[in-house]
Every structure is written in C-alpha cells, then in structure tokens.
Structure 1
Amino acid sequence: MKYEYCKTDFIYEISRSDSSVQSGSVFDSTLQNTWKDALERGVFRYVLNIQHSKILEGKFSFVAQLNTDRALKRRAPEEITSLTQPFDHDRFNFTKIDETEILFELRRKCDTSTNRHCVIINESPLEFGHCLLLPTRLNCLPQIATQYSLQLAIEVMLLSSNPAFRVGFNSLCGYASVNHLHYHGYYLNYSMLLEHISVQHLSGPCFILVNYPAKGFVFQLPSDKRPETLARDVFKLTNFLVCNNVAHNIYITRGTDFSSSHTNSKICNTVRVYVWARKSSSGAKQNDAFNPAICELFGHLSVKTEAAYWSLTEEQVVEMLNDVCEGPFGQVTDSVKELFED
C-alpha cells in the first residue's frame, strides 16, 4: 500500500478540542486503520496493554503509564558504542523485517527520486498507533538524523490533524535500540506542558527550554511555513552535536507559537521541535522506573514495573531528567549560540 502526498495536504493549524485519539486527517485514518489491522493479525510481540495511566502530582504534569510488556517482551537493544557507529548489515536492521510489519510506503508526489520511505509497526508498542518512519529504508543509513529525514518527519507531522500525534528520534548513545535510520510516531492523548511552555531566545531561530528539568533547545515552524526551513535549522544543531560526539534526542509536537501569551489556547498553531543534548545512555544513571529516552524527556514516562509506577514521584523524575541533561546542555549552549549567530 502507498500513501502519496503533496504540500497542499499539510495542515498548519489544528484544534486541541478533539479529544478522540482515533480521528483526524486522511493520513491519520491510513495509519490508524493499517495499525489496527496489523494488531488483529497478531504481528506485534504483544497486544498493547497500558495497565494504568496517571498525571504525577506537581507543576510539570508528567504523564506516567505502566506498560510492563514493553519492558519484558521487546527485542534486546543493539549494543551501541559510538554516536557514529557504522551500519552493520549482519546485525538486525529494518531490511530484515517481515513484509507483514510494513503498514504502507510513504511518497511525496513531487519527488522524482527513487527514494522509498516506509511506515512500519513498532512491534513493541508503548502507545496507540506506535509506528516507525523509515526514510530511504533500503539505503541502509545509520541512526544519524539527516536534513532530508528531518524534513520528512516534520512533513509527516503536518499531514496529521490530530493533536495527539507525536514524532521522536533517539540518537545512538541516546537509547536508540537499532542502528538503522528511523523515527518513532505515536498518539499520546494528553495535553502536554511542552506544547505551550514559555521558552527563551538564544540566537537566530534557536530558543532554549530552561524552566523545565530537561533543559534543551527548541525550534518552531517559521513564518514561511516551510518544513525545509525548520529541518535545516534543526539539522544545523544535530549535526553539530554529532560532530562533537554529544548524544541527543529529538521530539516533534504540535503546540502554540513561542510568542503566544495564551498558554491554554485550544489552537495549535505551530510545530515545535525539541532537541536535548544528553548524557550517553551508557553513562546515564540507571533507574528501575523508566529509561530516560525521548518520550521521557518530553514528559511521557513509560514505566517498567508496577512497584515503580505506584511509588513514582515528580521529585524522582526531576532528579533523573536533570542528571541526564543539565551537564551536556551547559557544556554546549555557548557554542550553539555562536552557531546560530551567523
């Protein structure tokens, strides 16, 4: 199955008032229907079963979900030793998946190249619709964000009209479990703080997130509404981090414009892209509750055990996020400011 799109399909402003996860654009319907069909066919490692969900008490409104199946039944992550570890054809990669795992091929109508992008299931889902976007799957690129793939991920976000849809990327040494270029997509039906939190200008198009335990960098869809402009700006930062051997995570979400004073607005009028410089996952403090990967930095905590879920507090989460991000953020901020002053 193929899903083809062009720029006229992009949706730049959506309402938060639609509380139904299973709704949205033609893209949303395509993703949700193929994902549910795969679920019925038994393609996943387990049937998604989030045993409990809650918002942790405190000012950051962290969302905690108990998903013991993901902790126990997912494929063992690949051993990652370097941020620039080469692609290895002999290890598991997405050319080795079964055809039943492919939901659909994704293609820009105006793209004259032979690039083939796939959307496949994440066989160990953490939420409804959890899928993987595989840019140029057969090119066998390592898990390093390219400007082209960032633009594709942003365009996928613009194809969805559901405010619950999110896209994320874990770098190598940032909890990526497969060294083959991929982005995560899924639906999280909560209004999240980072959709509207205030940010501070750093330089050029780059802003910083400081009133939050996981300090990081953030960009938004520019006034020209061109996803290629946003992708170029984000790539400028991620490429700098790769060149300086700094692990990182990227999260793409709908939200309010940085200049908006209406934090509780029901309208999402931009796309926000968060980039966190972070400690290598091999050097991060281990936690029985959750792994501090991309979703957790955003405030969505997939908790491993029932004991950890019931005892988890905002203070514990704040400590973990600070430990992961504060040092690397402080070390690179001045250089990032200079990077965008040109």
Structure 2
Amino acid sequence: MKYEYCKTDFIYETSRSDSSVQSGSVFDSTLQNTWKAALERGVFRYVLNIQHSKILEGKFSFVAQLNTDRALKRRAPEEITSLTQPFDHDRFNFTKIDETEILFELRRKCDTTTNRHCVIINESPLEFGHCLLLPSRLNCLPQIATQHSLQLAIEVMLLSSNPAFRLGFNSLCGYASVNHLHYHGYYLNYSMLLERISVQHLSGPCFILVNYPAKGFVFQLPSDKRPETLARDVFKLTNFLVCNNVAHNIYITRGTHFSSSHTNSKICNTIRVYVWARKSSSEAAYWSLTEEQVVEMLSDVCEGTFGQVTDSVKELFED
C-alpha cells in the first residue's frame, strides 16, 4: 500500500478540544486503520496492554505508564558502542523485517527519486499507533538524523491533524536500540507541558528550554511554514552534536507558537522540535515513581551536557 501526499495536504493548525486519540486526517485514518489491522493479524509481539497510567503530581504533569510486556517481550537491543557506529548488514536491521510488518510506503507526489520511505509497526508497542518511520529504508543508513529525514518527519507531523500524534528520535548511545535510521511515531492522548511551555531565545532560530528539568534546545515552524527550513535549522544542531560525539534525543510535537501569550491555549498553531543533548540515564520502579524522581533523572541526564554545549550552539546560530 502506498500513501502519496503533497504540500497542499499539510495542516498547519489544529485544536486539542475537538479531537480524540482515534480521529484526524486522511493520514491519521490510514495509519490507525493499517495499525489496527496488523494488530488483528497478530503481527505484534504482544497485544498492547497498558496496565496503568497516571499523571504524576506536581507542576510538570509528567505522564507515567506501566507496560510490562514491553520490558519482557521486546527484541533485545543492539549493542551500541559509538555515536557514529557504521551500519552492519549482518545484525538485525529493517531490511530483514517481514512484509506483514509494513503498514504502507510513504511518497511525496513531486519526488522523482527512487527513495522508498516506509511506515512499519513497532512490534513492541508503547502506545496506540506506535509505528516506525523509516526514511529511505533500503539505503541502509545508520541511526544518524539527516536533514532529509528530519524534513520527512516534520512533513509527516503536518499530515496528521491529531495533536496526540508525536514523533521521536533517539541517537546511538541515546537509547536507540537498532542502528538503522528510524523515527518513532505514536499517539499519546495527554496534554503535554512541552506543547506550550515558555522558552528563551538563544540565537537565530534556536531557543532554549530552561524552566524544565531536562534543559534543551527547541525550534518551531518558521514564518514561511516551510518544513525544509525547520529541518535545516534542526540538522545544523544535530550534526554539530554528532560531530562532537554528543548523544541526543529529538521530540516533535504540535504546540503553541513561542510568542503566544496564551500558555493554556488548546489551539496548536506550530510544530515544536525539541533537541536534548544527553548522557546515559537510570530508571525507577513504576509504582514508586514521583515527580521528584523524574526531575532528578532528567536533570542528571541533560543538565551537565546542556551546559557544556550551549555557548557553542549559540555561536552556531549567530551568523
């Protein structure tokens, strides 16, 4: 199955008030229907069963979920030793998946290249609709975000009208478990603070997230609303991090424009892209988890690295 799109399909504004997790655009319907069909065919390692969810008490409204099947039944992560570890054809990669795991191929109508982008199931799902976006799957690219793949991910976000849809990327040494270029997509039907939190300008198009335990960098869809402009800016940072051997995570979500004074607005009128420079982190048991523990873990993971690279990132965008 192929899903073709062009820029006239992009949705630049949506509202949280008139959506549920299983609703949205033609893209959302395509993703959700193919994902549920795969679930019914028994393609996944387990039927998604989130035993418990809770919002941790406190000002950050962290969401915690208990999904023991993910821990017990997922494929063993690949051993990662370097941020720039080469692609290894002999290890597991996404050219070795069964065809039943492919939900659909994704293609821009104006794209004359032979790139074959795929959306496949995540066979060990964390949330409803949990899938993997595989840019140029057959090109066997390592898990390093390219400018082209970032643009594709931003375009996918613009194809969805459901503000519950999110995309994420983990670098090698930053929780990536397969060294083959991929982004995670899923629906999380909670209003997240990161959709509306205030940020501070650093330089150029780059802002910083400081009133949050995980300090990081953030970009938004520019005034020209061109995904390629946003992708170029984000790639400038992630490429700097790769060149300096700094692990990182990327989070892409709908949200309010940085200049909005209505921090509680349900209108999502931009795409926010967060980039966290990070180190390895520890974990805590679900039932005893508190906001204080999450704050401590996030601060430990990000604060030191953030401080080490901020001045260099500021200079990066000053021209």
TM-score range, shorter chain: over 0.9
**What SS does structure 2 have at the residue aligned with 1:307?**
coil
The change in CA–CA distance for 1:251 and 1:157 in structure 2 (over 3 A counts) is same
1:309 is aligned to 286
Q: Is the 8 A contact 1:94 1:180 kept in 2?
A: yes
Q: Is the 8 A contact 1:56 1:62 kept in 2?
A: yes
Give how far 1:102 is off: 0.1
Aligned CA RMSD, in angstroms, stands at 1.2
Identity among equivalent positions (%) equals: 97
2:123 is aligned to 123
The change in CA–CA distance for 1:57 and 1:145 in structure 2 (over 3 A counts) is same
Give how far 1:19 is off: 4.0
Q: Distance in 1 between matches of 2:280 and 2:241?
A: 12
Give how far 1:70 is off: 0.4
Give how far 1:311 is off: 1.1
Q: Distance in 1 between matches of 2:197 and 2:161?
A: 21
Give how far 1:18 is off: 2.5
Q: Distance in 2 between matches of 1:242 and 1:277?
A: 10
The 10-residue stretch of structure 1 (19-28 or 246-255) with the greater mean CA deviation from structure 2? 19-28
Aligned residues: 319
Query: Mapping of 1:180-191 within 5 angstroms?
Result: 180-191=180-191
Moved segments of 4+, more than 6 Å: none
Cα displacement string for residues 56-113 of structure 1 (whole angstroms, at most 9, x for unaligned residues)? 0001000011000001110000000000000000000000000000000000000000
Q: Is the 8 A contact 1:19 1:189 kept in 2?
A: no
Give how far 1:20 is off: 1.1
Give how far 1:55 is off: 0.4
Q: Is the 8 A contact 1:199 1:210 kept in 2?
A: yes
Q: Is the 8 A contact 1:45 1:123 kept in 2?
A: yes
Q: Which runs of 5+ in 1 are unaligned?
A: 283-305
2:247 is aligned to 247
2:147 is aligned to 147
Q: Which runs of 5+ in 2 are unaligned?
A: none
Q: Distance in 2 between matches of 1:104 and 1:281?
A: 34
Query: Mapping of 1:33-112 within 5 angstroms?
Result: 33-112=33-112
2:299 is aligned to 322
Q: Distance in 1 between matches of 2:307 and 2:189?
A: 32
Q: Distance in 1 between matches of 2:30 and 2:274?
A: 27
Give how far 1:308 is off: 2.2
The change in CA–CA distance for 1:307 and 1:192 in structure 2 (over 3 A counts) is closer
Q: Distance in 2 between matches of 1:335 and 1:280?
A: 22
Give how far 1:280 is off: 4.1
Q: Distance in 2 between matches of 1:170 and 1:312?
A: 23
Cα displacement string for residues 121-177 of structure 1 (whole angstroms, at most 9, x for unaligned residues)? 000000000000000000000000000000000000000000000000000000000
